[in-house]
Structure 1
């Protein structure tokens, strides 16, 4: 690198900001890296903070051949590598000045607040919203770590500057090692006095806290990385039949392999063949609109498999009675081979779950009866069941229920889900023929289908409303504009469980909001306690 690493430290009065800057310079020089620090004093009464600007050249002095870098005296907008602050609003203030950038800056901030004079002057609650401040940091930083530095500082019995030093060391921005930072704190002493030992404790707590956040972030990134996860999972899935693989391009194969294996496990080979048939229709539609592209087909391969393998009582019983699940539970509780593990599962199936396995005419009458009961103010029926899965009787009951998957295709729930899937796929195919962006936007709407019970119903209703009123109803100038509206509606539905954001997005594009669902009002009898009667 030919550029110095730039760091801005922000600290309030009495928090040891100057000491922190000195520690960083000493740690850099201890490790053999050139460094320089400057400071800009703040003002009193919590209207500002003292900032310290440092630059560390990430090339060892021995490799410079006698040359020395020229350092800057102040940070440049958008060129900051690390921003560290002991107060959340101060972090947001520096971010608002344009010093951070989303493609470069790592932000480390305390979640703690010291109220400003303006906030204290308000008649009511004048405090700024912490969530909005954190969101601002996340928007304008490459990585961000927000943590309760005050609690860590109290735990260590030191000042916040020591905790901030640990956070800086764990951020990975600077080239120094842990020993270099600890040497700066000890300042040449072998063990250090009581104050230095407290600083070492605060340093260790800050370092561990940020390292834990980074580990969690790496895990989440790995989980959410679609290509890596699909490839890894597909490697464990059974191989695709050659005849099926030949029908689709290689880009679709990883997801197709997972979906095909899932549906064979769920319902059998015939059901998996229906999955392939549906996917072929989407692929053909996409090729007619954009030859050579397969993005919509890849998305449909994912969400169609998940929707077709909808959760019902048969599926739940199957998953809970598998040997792999029992072994996973033993691993989670760290049971030894000779330990006895008792496992109880609690179920509360209601009328919709039982009606799902009945033929449609009978199921519709049963569901209508339940709806009349609920409309009259009564609670929905549910059958609480406690099953000892570790017992022979409990396991046999679950296996018996899971063996009923052959009856699933005769049930009301199966017929209902297949009809709705057909509606969605028809919209995807029509969109793919019109424009690749439109087909892809509608394919991604399959993400709205998730969970079970009311969560599944709500996602399904949202998807169908988007399809019927944005894909087929509202007027747009171009297919790309329609695709953009569908994308916005989908993201709104995923952000807000209540659906208010979705209604706003629908109205913004000329589509009607979702219909309000009738909810019964239940009058609860007033319970008079003995104490109230005496009063």
Structure 2
């Protein structure tokens, strides 16, 4: 924020929503805080053909720093110079965007998702309402930062009008240099009692507090995430000796464009930590094929190398899949022990005992065995399940605070070299190669959009255990049925296939049961996923002396399978 230019705020409110009161509160807040401010208003038109707008300018430096000088304010907003746009109605927000008032690199938008239909919308014989999704897309496109929530409902719940909610949102967004107590003092209007006597003032303060928390909480979370990411990137950009440098090899920094290198550096460092530099070099080699395909489709990089960037992101996460070696490594690190002590607020003289609970099963042990031994072990476990027995698991309780417990974790973490010879490593790499081949083929032989949508399908790989396996099956099915013209409609254009993949991916991420995914697949001309066989265990009912709640009779125990 420039300290020589005023902060420009535009407020849009409908009739009866207290826009004038809101402006008075803001001016009074500036006076209480010791800042120079000025407001003007432009009346709207009746019958919901427009809104009343209130323009406010606040000089960002307090009056005592100006040494008697007074800033000169403007009476009306200049398009593209707004720092904050606050509106109580979604269409009015878009109307101001259409007038050119906002700038995507400068303006923060706070708007209500509520709609009050205009006269033009009511005149249509059918459904004349504006498409809400298109309005929201415009807000996102033309704002540096945006907050969208139902201000009208929040005001009704608090028993007041929207102006109190808008004031809380303005205070929570942090654009104006005022503290929260300055706003609250303006609302109180000179009432200094802990609990205001006026019922309307109490309702206004309640709505103010709700809106303040609603806007500030996401901003604080986003700020924390940015700080964490910046710290990680800074750590990645340093060598193990603490000298300034980069974790990426010099050849990679020269080969890959700058728009990709931040994600690339994080992925490379993650895989070096996960396995070794040779494994991280494989990561770079795989991405080079994707970059080559995207370079042919978009040689000027007009789309910021989004295919390579998305692939780099999800590929790093997939290649660093969790297994018992990784879990043991993370749990036995010194940083983890320090973090646990901080979280429980243990002092230097306090004795802290930490017990790690593990329950590895056959898949976890088979993952580190060669394919031949792993297949036999898995077959043995499947036979157990088929005979009605539960899957084999080994419950372990390891005290990582003890020498023996820490030693066992470090021994298990030391099996990192065995990971490459394990069956799961080979399976994961084969599935990764299938996905990457589809990304390259979709980009080279299809279109940029098709390659980008296939790359974004890496989001399906998440979690662990059954969730991870389901995600991998969904990804392979999408690749086989929609990524290529042979798998889908032979006459389908690449753009149509890209749209189908985007819709199917969204359905897969929205519903863990898979019903939405199967419906989306069928809707776009692809077959639904094959049904996975699940064992059924028939349990013996209690004896007659201890009947069940429904009074069912005793039934012999049998086993079976269903599809």
Per the TM alignment, residue 277 of structure 1 is displaced from its structure 2 partner at its CA by 2.6
Q: Cα 1:325–1:515, aligned 2, differ >3 Å: closer, same or farther?
A: same
CA deviations over 1:416-461 (Å, ceiling 9, x no partner): 1111112122222222222333322222222221221111111111
Query: CA offset at residue 513 of structure 1?
Result: 1.2
Among 277, 289, 307, the alignment partner of 1:296 is 307
Corresponding residue number in structure 2 for 1:466: 478
Find the partner of 1:404 among 415, 435, 440. Answer: 415
1:167 corresponds in structure 2 to: 168
Pairing 1:5–2:3 present? no
Cα distance in 2 for residues equivalent to 1:422 and 1:2:
52
Contact 1:307 / 1:449 at 8 angstroms: preserved in 2? yes
Alignment counterpart, residue 502 of structure 2, candidates 468, 479, 487: 487
2:212 aligned residue (210, 213, 235): 210
Query: In the alignment, does 2:152 pair up with 1:144?
Result: no
| Shift of residue 378, structure 1, vs aligned partner | 3.2
Matched, 1:457 2:442: no
Structure 2 residue 254 is matched with structure 1 residue 256 = no
Contact 2:166 2:211 in 1 (8 A): no
- In terms of mean alpha carbon deviation, does 136-145 or 494-503 score higher? 136-145
Counterpart CA distance in 1 for 2:529 and 2:226 is: 30
| Compared CA separation, residues 487 and 226, structure 1 to 2 (3 A) | farther
Q: How does 1:34-433 map to 2 (within 5 A)?
A: 34=39, 55-59=53-57, 81-83=85-87, 98-101=91-94, 106-107=110-111, 142-145=146-149, 164=165, 167-172=168-173, 177=178, 178=180, 181-189=183-191, 191=193, 194-196=196-198, 199=201, 203=205, 206-207=208-209, 210-211=212-213, 213-217=215-219, 219-220=221-222, 223=225, 234-236=236-238, 238-293=246-301, 294-433=305-444
* CA shift for structure 1 position 373: 2.9
- After TM superposition, give the deviation of residue 41 of structure 1 in Å: 12
Secondary structure, aligned partner of 2:421: coil
- Inter-partner Cα distance in structure 2 for 1:286 and 1:186: 60
Which structure ranks higher in relative contact order (CA pairs < 8 Å, sequence separation ≥ 6)? 1
**Aligned twin of 2:523:** 508
Distance 1:343 1:2 in 2: 52
1:262 deviation in Å? 1.9
Q: Is the 8 A contact 1:263 1:308 kept in 2?
A: yes
State how far apart, in whole Å, the 2-side matches of 1:276 and 1:441 are: 21
Say whether the 8 Å CA contact 1:4–1:55 is kept in structure 2: no
1:521 match: secondary structure: strand
RMSD value, Cα: 4.5
Aligned equivalents of 2:231, 2:188: Cα separation in 1: 45
Q: Could you list the per-position Cα deviations for residues 186-235 of structure 1 after superposition, in whole angstroms to 9, with x for gaps in the alignment?
A: 43455488514994696277437624642424534874899979855643
Q: In structure 2, how many angstroms separate the alpha carbons of the residues matched to 1:320 and 1:189?
A: 55
Following superposition, the deviation at residue 462 of structure 1 comes to: 1.1
Mapped contact 1:25–1:37 kept (Cα < 8 A): no
Residues 344 and 476 (structure 1), Cα distance of their counterparts in 2 relative to 1, 3 Å cut: farther
Distance of aligned partners of 1:224 and 1:531 in 2 relative to their CA distance in 1, 3 Å threshold: farther
Say which of 473, 497, 513 aligns to 2:512: 497
Q: Which has the higher helix share?
A: 1
Unaligned regions of 5+ residues in structure 1, if any? 12-16, 43-49, 71-79, 85-93, 111-133
- Residues 247-285 of structure 1: CA deviation (Å, up to 9, x unaligned): 433433333322222222222222223223322333333
Offset at residue 306 of structure 1 (A): 1.7
Q: Distance in 2 between matches of 1:465 and 1:224?
A: 35
Say if 1:378 and 1:39 are closer, same or farther in 2 by CA, change over 3 A. farther
Q: How many residues align?
A: 474
Quote the Cα distance in structure 2 between the aligned partners of 1:21 and 1:255: 45
8 Å Cα contact 2:155-2:207 kept in structure 1:
no
| Inter-CA distance 137–532: structure 2 relative to 1 (3 Å threshold) | farther
Gap change, CA 1:137 and 1:232, over 3 Å in 2: farther
Secondary structure of residue in 1 paired with 2:197: helix
CA distance in 2, matches of 1:478, 1:229: 44
Q: Deviations over 1:23-50 (max 9, x none)?
A: 53542453464466999999xxxxxxx9
Q: Deviations over 1:285-337 (max 9, x none)?
A: 33444435443333322222221111111111111111111112222233333
Task: Single out whichever of 275-284 and 443-452 deviates more from structure 2.
Answer: 275-284
Structure 2 spans left out of the alignment, 5+ residues: 1-5, 31-36, 60-69, 78-83, 103-108, 115-131, 140-145, 240-245, 552-563
- CA-to-partner distance for each residue in 1:48-77, whole Å, 9 max, x for gaps? xx9x97643313798678x9779xxxxxxx
* TM-score normalised by length of structure 1: 0.73
Provide closer, same or farther for how the CA distance between residues 204 and 176 of structure 1 changes in structure 2, counting only shifts above 3 A: farther
